[in-house]
Structure 1
Amino acid sequence: MDYLELEKPSKTFDFLRILLILAGTVASFFSVLGYGEIFPRYSLLIFLGFWGNTFFYFLAKKKISQQKVLWSSLLIDLLLIDILIETTGGRESPFIFLYPLLIFVAGFHLGRRGADTFTFISLLSYSFIYWHPERPPLNPQTILQFFVPLGAMGLSGLLALRYVEERERTRKKIAETHQALFRAEELHRLILQSLASGLIVTDLSKKIISANQAAKAILQRNDLEGLSLKEAFDGFDFVPESSRCELLLKKNGQPIYIGYSFFPLKDEKKEIFGYSLIFQDITPIKEKEERLRRAEHLAALGTLASGLAHEIKNPLASICGAVEFLKEQDLVKPGGERLFEIIAREAQRLDVLVSDFLLFAKPTAGAPEKTNLLKIIGEIQDELALKFKEKDIHWEIDIPPGINLRVDAGRFKQILLNLCSNAIEAYDGREATVRLVCQEQDDHLEIKVIDYVGGISQEIAPRIFEPFFTTKPHGTGLGLAVVYSLVKGLKGQINVKSSASETCFSLSFPKEILFKS
């Protein structure tokens, strides 16, 4: 069996051992000095032997295995006890009680094997001392005197074994309990760390006691423990609610929508001892809902716009044709040419507006053809250089040269052209820098158009893709609406993020638009 090391009982035995040896040593010392004949004078040497064995035990157990040291030390103790009993009266010695004590200590430290061995040796030693050198007369008193110590030794061995077995069972139960607790704590920890939702536990004053990794990731801070909920959630005061609630936070200038449940923690007496907060980052869900709402809204507008554009385009074509006919037939009075030029110019502008309106109302993929993305970017740079002659435009192009697309080149160019044009106009006459980035992800193609102006507020950001919504003095409000419709026609997604120093339009297209030779 495994030999247990229970510190408190071992220290108790060591203390009793030293106390007995000390008492015997003092008594022997007084006998040597002539203060009574308690023990024979040479018994002092035996007690000095006990002291030597004690020092041997404490010194040797640091270098030799404890089991070997115990066997050696207890065997030496047994020999010294034999000598002590023999020299202090033999069968009449007051130290016979040391045999049962030694057997119990051996059973405690060395288990069944130690108890059996030292019981047997002690019985032999006592029997030899009792019947040698002078055999006492056989009578009931003598037999009783012989068997009482033997019974005490056997009982000591039995008690030692029962104690060790009970201790072993207790140790196993404790080990099993510790293991079960460890598994439960480990399972609890793993569940908390695996939760995708944030989980925070507070005391009655709403001071955070614990928070899992998801909570720290959502709130973007690792020092939640010790903070109050108000400090962690930008001053928001949580009140226990029966239903799920939402709140809006701002982290690094970006809005984060939080869906949460806040509820009290109660003990078995139904008394509140703290609070718990379970929450999730529902920003992607909110963005998806906003895209769906916007798509439904734009679809309704597109249906209306389609019919309206056709109704405008037909009479507009008649007006343009009539103006051309009048000019060719010289039916215009002198001085009226300027008026007809105004009519023709405005009619042409209106035709462009209606064409954009139709492009917004009926987005399609067009006629797909192989085209290189960098070639489209080059054409856009040339057109915008002519459009913004007065401005100095700096381009940052981060696009691999080998990206070929299977798209309608005109429509795809229209997407990037409108975004780049808006980016340049955002600089309001200053030197403009436009950054274009293209990255091929695992399941989609991502293109970003970035300017370093920023300034799209969170209030107007949800409306920038609506038709006729514009913040420009002379804008039509169709540029971004057309971009949105064309991106949707290619089964893509468009998102915008804006801060005080940067605006980024992110386009995401399925990898099906990539041309594969």
Structure 2
Amino acid sequence: MGARLLFSTLLMGSTVIYQLSSVAGEDSRPTGNFVFWLVGAIYFLTILYGGLFSRVEKVEVFALVQLCLDLVLLTLLMLATGCQDSVFLFCYLLLIIAAAVVLRSGGAFFFALYSLFGLAFLLMGNYFELYKKLAFVRSPETIEGSEVAYTLLVYGSSFFIVALLSGRLDEQLQATEKIVKKQQIDIDNLEAIQRDIVMSLNSGLMTTNIEGEILFLNPYANDLCGGLWPAVKGKDIHDLLPRLSLSLVELVGSSARVEVPFFRESDQAEILLGLSVSMLRDHLGEKSGYLVLFQDLTPIKKIEEIARRNEKMASLGEIAARMAHEIRNPLSSLSGSIQLLGDGSDISRSDRKLMEIMRRETARLDSLLGDFLRFAKPKPAQKSRYKLKSLVLESSLLFQQDERFRNCTICEDIEEHCEVSVDGGLFQQVVWNLLVNAGQAMQPDGGRIWIEVEQCYNGVSLLLLDEGPGIPESERSHIFEPFYSTKERGTGLGLSIVQRIVSEHDGDIEFYDESERRGLRLFFPAEPFVE
């Protein structure tokens, strides 16, 4: 419609120039305002077509009506401006080209034929002098029969040649358009696949410019970093990863994966990221930035730690039986012998005191050996459905009767109907070990211990806190290792046994810190009860 409006405007201007260039005194009648009315009608119809175009359903029929009206108006315009002498005869060619564009090759030949009919109508009327009495017609020169035939032959040939060429050109354009559309669809599909791959990638992907300023984070990377996009856009990568000591140039040259600690503020979690960096190049092969791939290695490190721990446990299990035989039997004999000696009446006070120390130390060794055997060769968990309040209260009562922890006060907050499937004995062992660990941490002054048990939607949470100094950050990665203890006379097996039992119940342990309370949160998942 824009091209048609432009053509109508040019036609109007040409008509004005045509009228102004008419020579007064020629033997021809002036056309008056008729030509302007014709061009104005074409201009008006163009605007009307533009308004109706969006409401038309059958576009080809609508175009056919337009072109037919244009053919009539153009024929009248040429009649008014001198028939075969009209300067607007070229408009027939434009009409044929327009028909080829809108109605394809068949439409072009159709209007080539009817344009020839229109031209023949003009020439034959002039030949028989039918237009001399029409006031709006500028009288053309008289035309001979041979000239009529020659003009029709020349213009007819040109009409059909233009129809043929424009039709072929339109067909080629249509074929090219189909190829381009198909290629564009392929490109769009390829871009969509690439976008889906990037957005669905189960690894963090980051792109930066050559200066190291962040340009893009995929959803996995954004989630891994705590939802920092788009706040980090345009910032240096070292602002996002402040503990990244190497530059991107150095990372590109490194073949090994680089491990970078990262503190995620959204959930206050410390994670370990594994980074690999490659150069990003544009379509010309020029360096345009860096491509950074990274993953959360925290679960992998936990699995590796569990594997190392299990490997240790396998070795310990192999020597557990030997230790029970080689140490416990002589230890029992030694303890019995001391007991018999102590029953004598002729033992001095100092000797009796030494025997009491020996008896106490053998008891401690026996307890240590028992802890070791329970840890190295644990019995399989025999799970049953328990209300945890009774199990916790029993362990709490035993703890409060222990002379070592008389200065400790237990504060209990346990849901009445909190149930889960656990091994009752092992669960009480967990509670006891945690209570002992908390009580020892607060010696010699003592303090309060909190036990909180609540039912979660997918299991049970056990929170055991105390007023002790807590576990330093530097010790937390080793605290569950066998024989690792921060206490002077600790065995280093209490928390290892706790971790082992919780793992057998498919549970989890995490550190918990408040302003005045510190300790551990244990989670035991819910399981269907099987009788």
TM class by shorter-chain length? Answer: 0.7 to 0.9
SS of 1:155's partner is helix
Residue 53 of structure 1 aligns to a residue whose secondary structure is helix
Gaps in structure 2 of 5+ consecutive residues: 129-142
Distance (whole Å) between structure 2 residues aligned to residue 38 and residue 178 of structure 1: 62
Residue 504 of structure 1: which of 517, 520, 524 is its match? 520
Of 247, 260, 263, the residue aligned with 1:247 is: 260
- Which segment drifts farther, 396-405 or 148-157? 396-405
Deviations 1:93-118 (A, max 9, x none): 34333222222223333434542442
8 A contact 2:116–2:152 mirrored in 1: no
Residue 108 of structure 1 corresponds to which residue in structure 2? 101
Unmatched 5+ residue regions in structure 1? 1-9
Checking the alignment, whether the CA contact within 8 Å between 1:30 and 1:36 is kept in structure 2 is: no
Q: How far apart are residue 297 of structure 1 and its match? A: 2.9
Q: Give the drift of 1:449.
A: 3.7
How far has the Cα of 1:73 moved from its partner? 4.0
* Correspondence for 2:137: none
Give the match for residue 139 of structure 2: none
The aligned counterpart of 1:98 is: 91
Deviation at 1:385, TM superposition (A): 3.9
CA contact (8 A) 1:424 1:434 kept: no
d(CA) in 2 for partners of 1:370, 1:99: 96
SS at match of 1:393: strand
Residues 331 and 362 of structure 2 are in contact (CA less than 8 Å); yes or no, is this contact kept in structure 1?
A: yes
Distance 1:81 1:374, change over 3 A: same
Which of the residues 372, 376, 384 maps onto 1:357?
372
Shift of 1:289: 0.9
Alignment of 1:31-180 (within 5 A): 40-63=29-52, 64-65=55-56, 70-132=63-125, 134-135=127-128, 137-139=144-146, 141-180=147-186
Q: 1:309 to 1:40 in 2, by over 3 A?
A: farther
For residue 287 of structure 1, report the CA deviation from its aligned partner.
Answer: 0.8
1:218 matches 2:224: yes
Aligned-partner Cα distance in 2 for 1:229–1:191: 23
SS of the residue aligned with 1:50?
Answer: helix
The superposition leaves residues 30-82 of structure 1 with CA deviations (integer Å, 9 ceiling, x where unpaired) of: 75xx8676984335223222213312321343235365664444333322322
Measure the CA separation in 1 of the matches of 2:237 and 2:492: 43
- TM-aligned CA distance change 1:43 to 1:475, over 3 Å: same
CA distance in 2, matches of 1:25, 1:37: 18
Q: Which residue identity lines up with residue 46 of structure 2 in the other structure?
A: Y
Q: Rate the CA distance shift 1:48–1:25 in 2: closer, same or farther, 3 A.
A: farther
**Cα offset for 1:123?**
1.8
State the 1:487 CA deviation: 4.9
Partner of 1:281: 296
Cα deviations across residues 398-452 of structure 1 (Å, max 9, x unaligned)? Answer: 58544344x3x333311222124434665674443333356585xxx66544537
In 2, the alpha carbon distance for the partners of 1:225 and 1:430 equals 50
Provide closer, same or farther for how the CA distance between residues 365 and 87 of structure 1 changes in structure 2, counting only shifts above 3 A. closer
SS in 2 for 1:105: helix
Which whole-Å CA distance do the structure 2 matches of 1:367 and 1:279 have between them? 42
SS of structure 2 residue aligned to 1:226: coil
1:381 and 1:20, CA in 2 relative to 1: closer, same or farther beyond 3 A? same
Q: Distance in 1 between matches of 2:164 and 2:323?
A: 107
SS in structure 2 opposite 1:459?
helix
CA contact 2:12–2:39 (8 Å) conserved in 1: yes
Using the TM superposition, give the Cα deviation of residue 283 of structure 1 relative to its aligned residue in structure 2, in angstroms: 1.3
Greater Cα offset, 252-261 or 277-286: 252-261
Residue 5 of structure 1: aligned partner: none
What residue is the counterpart of 1:382 in the other structure?
397
What letter is aligned with 1:451? Answer: L
CA distance in 2, matches of 1:115, 1:355: 103
Indicate how the Cα distance of structure 1 residues 385 and 137 shifts in structure 2: closer, same or farther if over 3 A, else same.
Answer: same
**Aligned position for 1:22:** 13
1:260 and 1:250 map into 2 onto residues whose CA distance is 15
Give the RMSD, CA atoms, in angstroms: 3.6
Alignment of 1:441-456 (within 5 A): 448-451=462-465, 455-456=470-471
How far the C-alpha of 1:288 sits from its partner, in A, is 1.0
Partner secondary structure for residue 96 of structure 1: coil
What amino acid is aligned across from residue 242 of structure 2 in structure 1?
Answer: D
Structure 1 residue 24 displacement after superposition: 0.8
Assess, with a 3 A threshold, how the Cα gap between structure 1 residues 371 and 56 changes in structure 2: closer, same or farther.
closer
Give the secondary structure class of the aligned counterpart of 1:132. helix
Q: What whole-Å deviation, never above 9, does each CA across 1:310-362 have from its counterpart, x for those lacking one?
A: 54433443344344435555444578766655554454444333332332343
Matched residue of 2:90: which SS? helix
The answer as to whether partners of 1:40 and 1:88 remain within 8 angstroms in 2 is no
Matches of 2:310 and 2:290, distance apart in 1? 41
- With over 3 angstroms needed to count, the CA separation of the structure-2 counterparts of 1:248 and 1:133, relative to structure 1, is closer
Equivalent-residue separation in structure 1 for 2:466 and 2:150 (angstroms): 109
Question: How many pairs does the alignment contain?
Answer: 497
- Whichever residue aligns with residue 396 of structure 1, its letter is D
Give the deviation of 1:181 after TM superposition.
0.9
Q: Separation in 2 of the partners of 1:324 and 1:385? A: 29
Which residue of structure 2 lines up, in the alignment, with residue 466 of structure 1? 481
412-421 or 396-405: which moved more?
A: 396-405
Task: Say if 2:236 is the partner of 1:228.
Answer: yes
